[in-house]
Amino acid sequence: MKMFNVTERRREIINTGILLSEKGLIQGTGGNISCRTDKGFLITPSGMDYRGLIPEDIVLMDLGGEVIEGNRTPSIERNMHMQIYLSRKDVNAVIHTHSIYATAIAAARQPLYPITDNQIALFCGTVPVADYAPIGTEELAENAVRALAEGSGVLLSNHGALCVGKDLNEALIKCEMLEIFSKIFILAKAAGGGFVLSDEQVRCEAEDLRKRYGQK
């Protein structure tokens, strides 16, 4: 990913927060957003309204958990973001939301099984659910990293959802799509139960889509 200057990245994080609010994927001061830089990562401050943020409010941290730049207290979930950057070299952006339908499935501690093939295209099959741990704990970070594995989305038990991407835009699209697939999943249950695609169907379709779907 091209590394823009840090001020530019801070603006990009604020714009992403505003977009997430407008799309109803985060509410109030909830959720948190970060992106990787050459020094570590930039992350939203704890408990501040996205619409009132200025670039200086976005905190720059290193991958050892120290604040390098910024006067604000970084997000309570900073450790979860940091552990993802440490374990996934391909990830340059992390977004955690409390979007309603994904959170409802997370509250049921149920994986989001693929009942549409569109979900295979975006998430390569099931979106897993991480074991429960309280907000902002080391345990939550470990559980999220373990459940996310090599995927691009994870549900956080009794809490919310998290998506990653090669950049902020990709992570934002994943958050939007995770919410849509969660809504479809819940509606399909109400309609008599969604038919879960088999592991073999998921594997074949994921392989096929890798060749035929999107830009090369």
Q: Which residues are catalytic?
A: 77
Residue (97 or 126) nearer to Zn ion, CB: 97
CB of 119 to Zn ion, least distance (A): 23
Among residues 3, 12, 2, the alpha carbon closest in space to that of 58 is found at: 12
**Closer Cβ to Zn ion, 74 or 114, answer by number:** 74
Interatomic CA distance for residues 145 and 154, integer angstroms: 9
Binding residues for Zn ion, per CB under 5 A?
A: 160
Tokens at residue 198, please? Answer: 């088999």
The closest residue (CB) to Zn ion is 160
CB 131 to Zn ion: min, Å: 16
Q: How far is CA 166 from CA 132, 149, 171, in A?
A: 27, 15, 7
Contact 214, 206 (CB under 8 A): no
Minimum distance of Zn ion from residue 6's CB (angstroms): 25
Q: Which two tokens stand for residue 30?
A: 């909830």
CB nearer to Zn ion: pick between 97 and 152: 97
